[in-house]
Amino acid sequence: MARNIIVGDVHGCLEELEELLTLIKLESTDHLVLIGDLIDRGPDAPGVVKKCAQLSQCCAVTLILGNHEEKLLRYLKHLRRKTGIEQQMKGTEEFPQLIQALTEEEHAFLENAYYSYQFEGLTLVHGGVSKRLKFPFPATYKVDTHAPKDYPGLDLLTKIRYLNPDGNFVSLNEEGPEDAYWAEVYDGSYGHVYFGHQPFMQEHPKCFENATGLDTGCVYGGWLSAAILEGNTRSFVSVKAKKTYANQLSSNI
């Protein structure tokens, strides 16, 4: 039976990704989903992108757009258009080297990442969902050139963590006692949601009533995790990080 395998945030941790894939034993009939944030903070972002692009030649691979891919592609767009705006963007120190290391095919692999992806009653996003967002959002980054106009709030899918009582996005580290982590209040309207973005420093994915968080903090010295869905069964596989590559920027839920 074909499996759907959903991998959490890799953040450049190539060695851990390869170890995880060895445990999973990918087959040609599998559908591999990468929940976003392949790049940044870890030791080998180019290697991770190259590995994932290569995997698409031997099985079905779907990349969900993470906030770090979104920033890279926005940086690259301004670089190509010679707007100069990329020089004003923060947190882009790794981008010039990464862009140079990737082929056009590997750039295209990133540009074809989905804001969200739905199948078999499931929704996959990088950050989270809100009742103020209207699904589905089928477009990839590459083709959705008018996303802000056509789909208000589309970029929030890559970075939602906390929501205020009205369901509006709360910026990182600005949450108050009245705000809630989105997965704790999500009512299942879009099916069970698998997501990344928020690092949960634990060995296995974080399970909520209607959502599952797959980022278990590999780049911060935690684990790299995957959910394996086969028919009506679900299992988790995780590998421990080889070391702590970066300092965690946000608090655990």
User: Which domains are assigned to the chain?
Assistant: 4-240 (3.60.21.10)
Q: Kindly indicate the confidence band of residue 136, based on its pLDDT and cuts at 50, 70 and 90.
A: low
**To the nearest whole percent, how much of the chain has pLDDT over 90?**
81
Reported as a pLDDT band with limits 50, 70 and 90, residue 150 is low
Neighbour tally for 239: CB within 10 Å: 22
CA-CA distance, 201 to 195, in Å (whole number)?
15
Is the pLDDT assigned to residue 142 strictly greater than 80?
no
Confidence category of residue 240, pLDDT binned at 50, 70, 90 = very high
Instruction: Calculate the average pLDDT of the chain.
Output: 92
pLDDT level of residue 201 (50, 70, 90 thresholds): very high
CA 14 – CA 48 distance, rounded (Å): 5
φ, ψ of residue 244 to 5 degrees: the values are: -90, 115
pLDDT of 147 over the 80 cut: no
Under 8 Å between Cβ of 96 and 66: no
Reply yes or no on whether the pLDDT at 79 is more than 80. yes
**pLDDT at 28 exceeding the cut of 70:** yes
Going by pLDDT thresholds of 50, 70 and 90, the confidence category of residue 83 is very high
Residue 141 has pLDDT above 90, yes or no: no
Cα separation values, 227 from 135, 143, 186, 191, Å: 23, 29, 20, 16
Residue 59, pLDDT > 80, answer yes
pLDDT of amino acid 139: 65
Contact 55, 32 (CB under 8 A): yes
Residue 203 has pLDDT above 80, yes or no: yes
Q: Does residue 77 surpass a pLDDT of 80? A: yes
What is the mean pLDDT of the segment spanning 64-73?
95
**Residue 32: pLDDT over 90:** yes
SS (HEC) of the chain? CCCEEEECCCCCCHHHHHHHHHHHCCCCCCEEEECCCCCCCCCCHHHHHHHHHHHCCCCEEEEECCHHHHHHHHHHHHHHHCCCHHHHCCCCCCHHHHHHHCCHHHHHHHHCCECEEEECCEEEECCCCCCCCCCCCCCECCCCCCHHHHCCCHHHHHCCCEECCCCCEECCCCCCCCCEEHHHHCCCCCCEEEECCCCCCCCCCEECCCEEECCCEHHHCCEEEEEEEECCEEEEEEEECCCCCCCCCCCCC
Distance CA 221, CA 16 (A): 11
Query: Is the pLDDT assigned to residue 113 strictly greater than 70?
Result: yes
Tell me the pLDDT band of 152, cut-offs 50, 70 and 90: low
Quickly state the pLDDT bin for 163 (edges 50, 70, 90): very high
Given a contact cutoff of 8 angstroms between Cβ atoms, the answer to whether 196 and 215 are in contact is yes
Which is nearest to 137 in space by CA: 114, 119, 110?
114
The predicted pLDDT at position 36 comes to 97
Predicted pLDDT at 149: 60
**Order of strands across the sheet that contains 211-213:** 116-119, 122-125, 192-195, 211-213, 206-207
